[in-house]
Amino acid sequence: MEGERQGALVVRLGAPPVDGEANAALTRLLGRLVGLAPGSVKILRGATGREKLLKFEGLSAAALRDRLEKR
C-alpha cells in the first residue's frame, strides 16, 4: 500500500493488468491485509481501469478503516 490520496487508498501492484491478473492480486492483497478471504473482496466498478470501487463483504466501513489504519 502506498497510502491515501483524496480519500482513496493507493495500492501499487507488480502483477500485469492482463487477463485480470492485477485485479486478482489486488483482491488477494487487500483480503490478507484486512483478514478476509480474497473472495470476500469484490470489485464493483473499475475492473478495467486504474480507479476501482471495492466491496469488503462482512466488514462495515468503520471496521475496514480500523483494520487498514492498524497496518
Q: Is 46 helix (H, G, I), strand (E, B) or coil?
A: coil
Q: Which three cell numbers stand for residue 60?
A: 462495515
How high is the pLDDT of residue 1? 64
pLDDT in tens, 11-54: 989 888 888 999 999 999 999 999 999 899 999 999 999 999 99
| 69 pLDDT above the threshold of 90 | no
Domains of the chain: 3-69 (3.30.1200.10)
Q: Which residues contact 15 (CB under 8 A, 6 or more apart)?
A: 21, 22, 24, 25, 26
pTM of the predicted protein model: 0.85
Task: Please answer whether residues 27 and 13 qualify as being in contact, where contact means their C-beta atoms are separated by less than 8 angstroms.
Answer: no
Rounded Cα gap, residues 37 and 9, in angstroms = 19
> Does an H or E element contain 32, and which?
helix 21-34
